């Protein structure tokens, strides 16, 4: 007969498992929305919010209207009545939140400045300190060319490129990828919000959420062969990225359907929409379909017909990666 | 702003004892070779050898370079020159014709190498005169064993590479974009002047991958030849035929890293292709360029008898038995840290197989003190060049022949 305090092997294992579960749960606030997917058969929600009058009578996106559009998208995604509530589910005070924008397309086709300002406003209302928000991409000059004001000090939102902080010295690897990561990601940010642009890409087919992570590494040029497949999926598997990623807010206010990733006005259109999801694979699949519809409307071949179907999206969803789903039956696209 | 190379005199800095390994600091190794050795030469050789073996930590850089305090903005415009090997396509795209990869590059994008950029439909190299590493090395460190033994090479590199070897010792510069590593502005005439100033009869393009800085290499070779300085290149040979003939046609000797003898290794470990490299070796042979081959033996990945035998037979058939082949020892680096150092018996097995196939000059590299670092006469088997570390300590070849049996020994023995 066992004495009090004695532990059988079975009890010990049970306690270990329980402890591990508690530790896992306590690692994040209960209310935090995690990027990982829920039950196997749950659908991934992708919200597309559109405002035909986003630019009013002009060409520039209206700050108030895009804030309203962002609120509509976020409240729909998180089923909230209050515009601040989604953000409180996403981040908590004291965290440093990185907004990984895409500034490669200059002023014509980069993450929209007014959108980024709207995100920063809501984050601050969710009690994230302004200097705990870092708007960043690869290069400070590219950020400035895209209209951002580089800012590295004071009690205000930070904005700068990896050129200001450098990359980690040692490469990290997953599968086919071995890269040095931006110190902005590894040393500054606890949480990451991905703010890509909906774009055509001459190699990968499309560049949306998953491919925007190429801006996190020092050697993206090494990972463009074979339509970036499986490199994009492998890169997004890196724990430094995966554990920080909370949400993707895709800027589809201006998008491109051909000639990407650079800005070519003749192949761009004012789409006046945002696409929001916590499943980057589902979001990329949805964005791909939007681009295909536009290509069809313009009389262009499908991306597959053009020899550049974005196969990396399926790779990201496969059994080796499980970064999300590309199965349309498991994606709930909500248009608001 | 990039810094300019300072030509002031300094003291030598040790290398790390491994093959063409480099760090992005400007360093110097100096040695001299005379035969027979006088006292001064002996001391110089000993110092150079010690430096090569990494025992002289007192040294300071030859070419003064202020400490790098983190990423700095460099003035791209002074390094940006239109590329020579590319084809313009529609919609401002270009197709690079430098290496077999043939990157199709859209406007504002770069090729696989990361050092060439399409700007509005014109392709530019971003690394002309953009030197991220410069050392003075013994020529034996390249390794070139049949080329001016005992002399120095003013050795330089820019950032970038057109492959991505998982074992790369210089990955911090070869796998970087030019703006990610500190660099100096070193136009061709300055390189030639520096080489001459420091008694280097040769400029060596090395460390990263000279294929990707071909335009600079060609201009520097021209400047060097005008000043009486030779040029050699240490390359992967993964290059298109026309570019190879044009750029390496200006070289006085070439060392090719033949990384394996299987396409699968090239695909998985190198991220390249074998066949274009073999083609390049044949082209260099037809061009009568003095060429030596290095084969880095990586345990379990390219160390089978079949590969060694296949390699040796191919060399014998296509290049001849007089091409020097160096089987060198692998050290865990970069993305291949899970494998051990190549056992010396593996290297000796490789050499034995190549010897048995009839190759005349088969060396073992990165194993200091191994007798297979020396050159032996293929006919009478007497030692002709003795090497200690990266230094040729005895040189007995006379007028390109064995002094004992007068068998010709191919190579470039006199400047």
A31-75 pLDDT, tens digit each: 344 444 444 568 999 999 999 999 988 889 999 999 999 999 999
| Any domain includes A11 | no
Tell me, what's the pLDDT at A41?
63
What are the structural domain ranges in chain B?
81-125, 135-395
CA angle A298, B88, B118 (to 5 degrees): 85
Q: Which CATH superfamily is domain B135-395 in?
A: Aldolase class I (3.20.20.70)
At A56 the pLDDT is 85
Q: Which of B26, B28, B83 is nearest to B51 (CA)?
A: B28
Residue B222 C-alpha, separation from nearest chain A C-alpha, in angstroms: 31
Q: Is A4 inside any structural domain?
A: no
Residue appearing with tokens 């492959």? B163
Kindly state whether residue A27 falls inside one of the protein's structural domains: no
> Are A190 and A96 in contact, with CB atoms under 8 Å apart?
yes
Domains in chain A, number: 1
Domain for residue A186, yes or no?
Answer: yes
Report the alpha-carbon distance of residue B166 to residue A179 in Å, rounded.
11
CA–CA dist A30, A50 (Å, integer) = 31
CA angle A14, A15, A21 (to 5 degrees): 95
Contact by Cβ (8 Å): B250, B222: yes
3-state secondary structure of B118: strand
Plot region of B282 (φ>0 → left; ψ -120 to 50 → alpha; else → beta): alpha
Asked if A245 and A192 count as a contact pair (C-beta separation under 8 A), the reply is yes
In angstroms, what separates the C-alpha of A105 from chain B's closest C-alpha? 9
DSSP 8-state symbol, B196? H
User: What are the CA-CA distances from residue B242 to residues A294, B87, B88, B252, B369 (Å)?
Assistant: 42, 13, 17, 18, 40
- The 3-state secondary structure of B127-139 reads CCCEECEEEEEEH
Q: Considering CB atoms only, which of A166, A202, A221 is closest to B113? A: A221
The sign of the torsion formed by the CA atoms of B266, B270, B271, B277 equals negative
What is the average pLDDT score of chain A? 90
Closest alpha carbon within chain B to A140: B73
Residue A187's domain spans which residues? 48-335
Query: Would you tell me the crossing angle of helices A113-125 and A63-78 to the nearest 10 degrees?
Result: 60
Tokens of B169: 């010792």
B:324-363 residues touching chain A, CB 8 A cutoff? 334-335
Instruction: Judge: A221–B104 Cβ closer than 8 Å, yes or no.
Output: no
Instruction: Measure CB to CB from residue A224 to each of B112, B177, B334 and give the nearest one.
Output: B112
Least confidently predicted of A25-29, A83-87, B138-142 = A25-29
- In angstroms, how far is the first alpha carbon of chain A from the final one? 65
- In the predicted model, is pLDDT for residue A26 greater than 90? no
Instruction: Compute the count of residue pairs across chains A and B with CB atoms less than 8 Å apart.
Output: 53
Virtual CA dihedral for B162, B167, B172, B177, nearest 10 degrees? Answer: 20
H/E segment holding residue B40: helix B39-52
CATH number of the domain residue A311 falls in? 3.40.50.11440
CA distance A249 to B183: 38
* Residue A144, in any domain of the structure: yes
Q: Using CB atoms, which residue from A104, A167, A221 is nearest to B114?
A: A221
Classify residue B333 by its DSSP letter: B
Terminal CA-to-CA distance of chain B, rounded, Å? 38
A4 has a pLDDT exceeding 60: no
Tell me: the pLDDT tens digits for A175-204?
A: 999 999 999 999 999 999 999 999 999 999
What DSSP string runs through A214-253? GGGBS-GGGG-GGGGTTHHHHHHH-HHHHTTEEEEEEEEE
List, in order, residues 6 or more apart from A301 with CB less than 8 Å away. A295
Is B179 in Cβ contact with A163 (below 8 Å)? yes
B191: which DSSP letter? H
Q: Is residue A18 part of a domain?
A: no
- pLDDT on residue B91: 85
d(CA B173, CA B181): 7
> Can you list the alpha helix ranges (DSSP code H) found in chain A?
9-26, 63-78, 85-90, 113-125, 140-145, 183, 231-237, 239-242, 280-297, 312-317
CB atoms within 10 A of CB B387: 26
pLDDT at B22: 55
Structure tokens at B189: 């005439």
Residue A80 CB contacts under 8 Å (≥ 6 apart), including other chains: A74, A86, A89
Task: Tell me the C-alpha distance between A71 and A77, whole Å.
Answer: 10
For a pLDDT cut of 90, what percent of chain A falls above it?
A: 84
**pLDDT average per 10 residues of sequence, chain B (415 residues):** 41 38 41 34 40 34 36 78 96 95 92 96 97 96 96 98 97 95 96 97 97 98 98 98 98 98 97 98 97 98 98 98 98 94 98 98 96 97 94 93 97 86
Spatial separation of the C-alpha atoms in residues A105 and A287, rounded to whole Å: 18
Binary contact (A202, B106; C-beta < 8 A): yes
- The pLDDT value given to residue B144: 97
The rounded radius of gyration (Å) of the Cα atoms in chain B is 20
Q: Quote the tokens at residue A201.
A: 């890409």
Taking CA–CA distances from A223, the nearest residue in chain B reads: B112
Which residue in chain A has the smallest CA separation from B102?
A225
Residue with tokens 């401002």: B92
Predicted local confidence at residue B415, as pLDDT: 64
Which phi and psi (to 5°) does residue B359 adopt?
-70, 140
Locus of tokens 């500190």: B182
Question: B52: Cβ–Cβ under 8 A, 6 or more apart, which residues?
Answer: B14, B15, B17, B29, B138, B141, B389, B390, B391
A262 closest CA partner among A145, A117, A116, A150: A145
Residue A22 domain-assigned (yes or no): no
Q: Is B244 left (phi over 0), alpha (psi -120 to 50) or beta?
A: alpha
Residue A164 lies in a domain: yes
- Tell me how far apart the alpha carbons of residues A205 and A261 are, in angstroms, rounded to a whole number: 10
Whether residue B106 and residue A219 make contact (CB cut-off 8 A), yes or no, is no
* Residues linked to residue A100 through DSSP beta bridges, in sequence order: A136, A194
3-class SS at B254? strand
- What is the 3 state secondary structure string of A25-66? HHCCCCCCCCCCCCCCCCCEEEEEEECCCCCCCCCCCCHHHH
């Amino acid at each position: 007969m066992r004495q009090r305090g004695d532990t059988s092997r079975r009890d010990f294992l049970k306690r270990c498992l329980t402890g591990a579960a508690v530790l896992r749960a306590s690692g994040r606030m209960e209310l935090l929305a995690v990027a990982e997917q829920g039950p196997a058969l749950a659908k991934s929600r992708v919200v597309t919010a559109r405002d035909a009058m986003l630019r009013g009578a002009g060409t520039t996106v209206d700050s108030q209207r895009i804030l309203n559009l962002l609120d509509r998208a976020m409240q729909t995604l998180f089923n909230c009545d209050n515009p601040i509530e989604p953000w409180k589910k996403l981040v908590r005070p004291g965290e440093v939140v990185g907004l990984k924008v895409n500034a490669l397309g200059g002023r014509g086709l980069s993450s929209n400045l007014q959108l980024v300002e709207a995100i920063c406003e809501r984050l601050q209302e969710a009690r994230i300190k302004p200097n705990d928000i870092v708007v960043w991409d690869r290069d400070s000059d590219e950020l400035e060319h895209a209209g951002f004001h580089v800012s590295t000090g004071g009690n205000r939102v930070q904005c700068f490129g990896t050129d200001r902080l450098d990359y980690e010295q040692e490469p990290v690897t997953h599968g086919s990828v071995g890269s040095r990561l931006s110190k902005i990601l590894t040393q500054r940010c606890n949480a990451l919000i991905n703010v890509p642009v909906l774009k055509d890409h001459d190699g990968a087919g499309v560049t949306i959420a998953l491919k925007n992570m190429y801006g996190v590494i020092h050697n993206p040029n090494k990972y463009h062969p074979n339509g970036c497949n499986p490199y994009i999926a492998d890169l997004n598997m890196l724990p430094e990225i995966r554990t920080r990623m909370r949400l993707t807010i895709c800027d589809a206010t201006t998008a491109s359907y051909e000639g990407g990733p650079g800005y070519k006005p003749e192949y761009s259109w004012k789409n006046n929409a945002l696409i929001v999801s916590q499943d980057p694979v589902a979001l990329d699949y949805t964005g791909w379909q939007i681009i295909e519809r536009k290509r069809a409307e313009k009389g262009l071949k499908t991306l597959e017909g053009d020899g550049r179907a974005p196969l990396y999206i399926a790779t990201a969803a496969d059994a080796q990666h499980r970064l999300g789903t590309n199965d349309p039956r498991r994606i709930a696209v909500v248009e608001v | 702003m990039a810094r300019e190379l300072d030509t002031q005199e300094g003291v030598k800095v040790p290398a790390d004892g491994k093959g063409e390994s480099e760090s992005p600091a400007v360093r110097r190794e100096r040695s001299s070779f005379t035969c027979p050795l006088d006292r001064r030469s002996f001391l110089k050789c000993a110092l150079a050898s010690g430096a090569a073996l990494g025992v002289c930590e007192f040294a300071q850089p030859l070419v003064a370079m202020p400490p790098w305090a983190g990423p700095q903005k460099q003035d791209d415009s002074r390094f940006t020159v239109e590329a020579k090997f590319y084809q313009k396509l529609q919609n401002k795209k270009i197709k690079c014709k430098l290496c077999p990869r043939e990157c199709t590059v859209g406007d504002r994008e770069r090729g696989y190498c990361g050092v060439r950029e399409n700007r509005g439909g014109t392709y530019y190299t971003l690394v002309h005169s953009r030197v991220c590493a410069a050392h003075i090395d013994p020529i034996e460190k390249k390794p070139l064993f049949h080329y001016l033994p005992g002399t120095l090479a003013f050795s330089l590199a820019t950032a970038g590479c057109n492959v991505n070897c998982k074992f790369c010792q210089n990955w911090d510069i070869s796998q970087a974009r030019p703006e990610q590593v500190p660099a100096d502005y070193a136009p061709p005439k300055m390189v030639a002047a520096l080489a001459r100033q420091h008694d280097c009869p040769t400029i060596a393009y090395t460390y990263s991958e000279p294929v990707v800085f071909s335009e600079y290499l060609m201009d520097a070779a021209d400047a060097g030849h005008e000043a009486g300085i030779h040029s050699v290149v240490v390359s992967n040979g993964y290059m298109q035929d026309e570019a190879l003939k044009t750029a390496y046609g200006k070289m006085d000797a070439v060392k090719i890293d033949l990384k394996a003898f299987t396409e699968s290794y090239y695909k998985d470990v190198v991220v390249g292709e074998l066949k274009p490299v073999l083609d390049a070796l044949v082209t260099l042979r037809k061009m009568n360029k003095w060429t030596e081959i290095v084969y880095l033996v990586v345990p379990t990945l390219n160390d089978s008898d079949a590969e060694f035998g296949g390699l040796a037979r191919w060399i014998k058939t296509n290049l001849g038995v007089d091409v020097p082949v160096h089987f060198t020892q692998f050290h865990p680096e970069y993305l291949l840290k899970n494998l051990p150092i190549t056992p010396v018996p593996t290297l000796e097995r490789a050499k034995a197989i190549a010897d048995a196939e009839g190759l005349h000059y088969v060396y073992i590299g990165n194993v200091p003190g191994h007798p297979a670092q020396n050159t032996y006469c293929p006919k009478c088997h007497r030692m002709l060049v003795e090497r200690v570390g990266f230094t040729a300590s005895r040189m007995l070849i006379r007028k390109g022949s064995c002094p004992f049996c007068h068998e010709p020994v191919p190579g470039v023995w006199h400047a």
